[in-house]
Amino acid sequence: MKVLIFGATGMLGQGALRECLLDDEVDSVLVVGRAATGRQHAKLRELVHEDLMELAPIEAELAGHDACLFCLGVSSAGMSERDYRRITYDLTLAVARTLARLSPDLAFVYVSGQGTDSTERGRSMWARVKGETENALLALPLRAYLLRPGYIQPVHGATSRTRLYRAVYLFAAPLYPVVRRLFPRHVTTTERLARAMISIARDGAPKRVLETGDINAIA
């Protein structure tokens, strides 16, 4: 497979990039983002592009891929709905619509979140916006798969760019094996999530919306 990754400098994207580079069935990886990852690998290429809302200048580079692993996102904490929507909905759809036009058979694997509101009418702002984003992706002419992980434990050096989250993950790491036994359908790791994304991109999945239990089973 030829794989695109958006959001490779974030915690989830770091995991996705690592597993893609280790996977023998992934022939090449093109990382697109506002900043470089600093990684070097024979099958890795990076494209630094400041305005991800405007992809026309780099469309030729984006064409011809088999899959896009979309790991780009932000926490809604402290954000207005307008600002959160601009990143979560507007940016995601700008990328997805471009790829749908360039490569209609492309698998678009989107990391959403547990608790997403598909009705778009609930009280939780982030869940409504995520739900609207998911629904819009499913309406596009591409193979969109929506992953809704719950708690994600970073492994293999993946780190959050948010200081508070880094502290939480550091504290939670020793407790993760216990939490996994108690709540296996609500927790996963960056490695399992990435392995599931690659598998879904390659082979598809029995359904388009996948919860944490589905993600772990596929991984």
Do residues 70 and 6 lie in contact, with contact meaning Cβ atoms separated by under 8 Å? yes
Give the whole-angstrom CA distance, residue 101 versus residue 106: 10
pLDDT one-digit tens code per residue, 188-211: 999 999 999 999 999 999 999 999
**Does position 178 have pLDDT exceeding 80, yes or no?**
no
Q: In one letter, which amino acid is 210?
A: L
**Does position 148 have pLDDT exceeding 90, yes or no?**
yes
Of 78 and 14, the one with more pLDDT: 14
Element holding 16 (H helix, E strand): helix 11-22
Q: Confidence band (pLDDT; 50, 70, 90) for 175?
A: confident
Least confident of 151-160, 175-184, 209-218: 175-184
pTM of the model: 0.94
Query: What's the confidence (pLDDT) of residue 63?
Result: 96
Sign of CA dihedral 40, 192, 99, 36: negative
pLDDT one-digit tens code per residue, 50-86: 999 999 999 999 999 999 999 999 989 889 999 999 9
Label the pairing between strands 107-111 and 143-148.
Answer: parallel
Query: What's the confidence (pLDDT) of residue 143?
Result: 97
**Does position 162 have pLDDT exceeding 80, yes or no?**
no
Give the whole-angstrom CA distance, residue 200 versus residue 133: 19
Do residues 74 and 52 lie in contact, with contact meaning Cβ atoms separated by under 8 Å? no
Closest CA to 75 of 101, 113, 39, 21: 113
pLDDT one-digit tens code per residue, 93-134: 999 999 999 999 999 999 999 999 999 999 999 999 999 999
- Domains of the chain (ranges; CATH) run 2-218 (3.40.50.720)
Of 165 and 207, the one with more pLDDT: 207
